[in-house]
Amino acid sequence: MISQGRADVRRSLANFFAAFEGAAVEHPVAFAAGDQAVDSWVFTGHYTGALPGLPPGAGQPVTIQGLTLIELAGGAIHRTTDYYDQYGILAQFGALPPMEQAGTPDATSKG
């Protein structure tokens, strides 16, 4: 998903956070040097709403860890690139089997 401009970013984040009860974000490490910055983050909450393309939440706990690389230009954020475990996230939402089950014969065979 691409968001452009402050209003679009705010709207996207508000829609995402609305799908969670008790949503919180921690930033264990963040630093900047010159025109680059790094922010590590941990998102937690209980998935109680609905996000596009995912099953509706059933109150399951969700933890998402990630890292954002930030490019700065003219005193403002020019671009961000996020890194996170997408498979792990989809498994927590119930859209994919948990990783430990994904490659087992029982999970992949049809009988």
**pLDDT in tens for each of the 111 residues of the chain?**
667 777 888 888 899 999 999 999 999 999 999 999 999 999 999 999 999 889 999 999 999 999 999 999 998 888 889 999 999 999 999 899 988 765 655 555 555
CA distances from 67 to 19, 21, 36, 37, 43 (A): 21, 23, 13, 11, 11
Return phi, psi of residue 11, to 5°: -65, -45
Query: Residue 103: its pLDDT value, please?
Result: 60
Given the candidates 3.10.450.50, 3.30.70.330, 3.40.630.30, 3.40.50.300, the CATH classification of the domain at 24-99 is 3.10.450.50
Query: Residue 76: its pLDDT value, please?
Result: 86
Query: Residue 39: its pLDDT value, please?
Result: 96
| Cβ pair 36, 70 in contact under 8 A | yes
Order of strands across the sheet that contains 76-84: 20-33, 36-47, 60-73, 76-84
